[in-house]
Amino acid sequence: MKINSNKLKSIFLLSLVGSNLAKEESSKNQSELTLNSLPQIGANFTKRENETDPTLIFGGYPIAFENQKNCFASFALIEAKYNDDCEWGRGNVFLTSSRCCTTERFCDRFTVFSAGNSSKRVGQISDLALTFGRGVFLIDFAVVIPDNGLKLIPYVMGPEDLYPITSLATAAIESQVCAYGPLRGYLCGSVVEMNTGVEYVDPSGETLTFTDVNKVDLGTNGFTIEELGSPVYTKNNIGERTTAQALGYITDIDNSDPNHNFFYYTPIDKVLEKMINRFDYCYYTLLTYNETNAQEYDQLIAQVEIPAKK
């Protein structure tokens, strides 16, 4: 059974009550998949009656840094090997855009909340691009360590359902890629530039360049600046079921040409390379859905309920 797309949208809007976003629109886990192992996600998805159950964090979950700006979780990472030298310590994390930081340059160690709910902690920022100095070329990323009681799951928002993430992918020129933002929904377009850069004025007024981003042409439809961090992926059909391959997350939006609305996304493989080779020596890989963990995640998804839209 598939989840109705309007119900999915209401989940985000309900979680963002009182926020600007709501007002705007009231290798470790790479085993082979078979058709039968893919999830059949039921039509029950949000807050549970049993508060001891974990909150599920997926690609597209709405978050805010210190309740400054609405943003979105992209994809979860798990440790690929023992991380003795990693500055963050041990444990799994998820990624989003450093542009979720809006009022201070150094947002590392900020608390991350569920967007629109200042009492619901999601985790803490352990590292982000803006902490590496002024006047430099940066890869856009923010790493969030989830709080206890939260569960990272390998799913991403689609137009009518949550899609299981089965692998990490890379794009090429003219590749068709998709993203989901709660305001504009599910949009797909063609990659027109790769490994380019976008300028960004940081909270201190300094102009930085985010590098290694890919540019996607959505035509006459486009995302909003409120949808930074939203997950970008490709999708595949296996029988009647759909899976996703993770690509990255939205770093910038350009809707200046009404006939060619663009977004720029940071590829996850570039972030993983940075983690290992440049500063932190942190060895991570994408959290994926596979034969080993399929039953666990299917049971988690099946326990959640969708509230009526208010």
DSSP letters, 55-100, are EEEEET-EEEETTSSEEE---EEEESS--TT-TT-SS-EEEE-GGG
Residue by residue, DSSP assigns 111-126 as EEEETTEEEEEEEEEE
Report the alpha-carbon distance of residue 249 to residue 97 in Å, rounded.
7
Which pLDDT score is estimated for 107?
Answer: 74
Q: Which residue's structure tokens are 């590496």? A: 132
What gap in Å lies between CA 14 and CA 93, rounded to an integer? Answer: 25
Lowest mean pLDDT among 12-21, 206-215, 232-241, 248-257: 12-21
Per-residue model confidence (pLDDT) at position 304: 57
The residue-averaged pLDDT of 69-96 equals: 80
Beta partners for 233? 178, 246
List Cα–Cα distances, 8 to 2, 180, 219, 265, in angstroms: 11, 11, 25, 23
* 254 band by pLDDT with thresholds 50, 70 and 90: very high
User: Which of 19-23, 207-211, 265-269 shows the lowest per-residue confidence on average (mean pLDDT)?
Assistant: 19-23
In the predicted model, is pLDDT for residue 15 greater than 70? no
Q: Report pLDDT for 83.
A: 64
Place of tokens 């595949």: 236
pLDDT band for position 156 (50/70/90)? very high
Where is 191: in which H helix or E strand?
strand 185-201
Is the pLDDT at 91 greater than 90? The verdict is no
Burial of 178 (0-12, 13-18, 19+ CB in 10 A): buried
How far is residue 250's CA from residue 253's CA, in Å, rounded to a whole number?
Answer: 8
Q: What per-residue confidence (pLDDT) applies to 201?
A: 80
Q: Is 269 left (phi over 0), alpha (psi -120 to 50) or beta?
A: alpha
Rg of the chain over all Cα atoms, to the nearest angstrom = 18
Number of H helices, E strands in the chain: 4, 18
Query: How many other CB atoms are there within 10 angstroms of residue 45's CB atom?
Result: 21
- 220 three-state secondary structure: coil
pLDDT at position 114 over 60: yes
The residue assigned the tokens 């840094």 is 65
Tell me the longest C-alpha to C-alpha distance in the chain.
52
What pLDDT, on a 0 to 100 scale, did the predictor assign at position 16? 44
Mean pLDDT in residue range 193-205: 86
pLDDT at 205: 77
CB–CB of 247/234 below 8 Å?
yes
- Pairwise CA distance, residues 89 & 79, whole Å: 10
Q: What pLDDT was estimated at residue 47?
A: 43
Count CB-CB contacts under 10 A for residue 132: 14
Residue 282 in contact with residue 88, Cβ under 8 Å? yes
If you average pLDDT over residues 57-61, what whole number do you get?
A: 92
pLDDT at 131: 59
Q: Which residues contact 10 (CB under 8 A, 6 or more apart)?
A: 306, 307, 309
**pTM here?**
0.82
Determine contact, residues 268/62, Cβ cutoff 8 Å. no
What pLDDT is recorded for position 136?
60
Q: How far apart are the C-alpha atoms of 99 and 250, rounded to whole Å?
A: 10
CA distances from 103 to 12, 118, 226, 254 (A): 24, 17, 15, 22
Q: Kindly state the average pLDDT of the residues 247-258.
A: 96
Give mean pLDDT, residues 77-93: 73
If you average pLDDT over each of 2-16, 188-202, 276-290, which comes out highest?
A: 188-202
> pLDDT at residue 53 above 80?
no
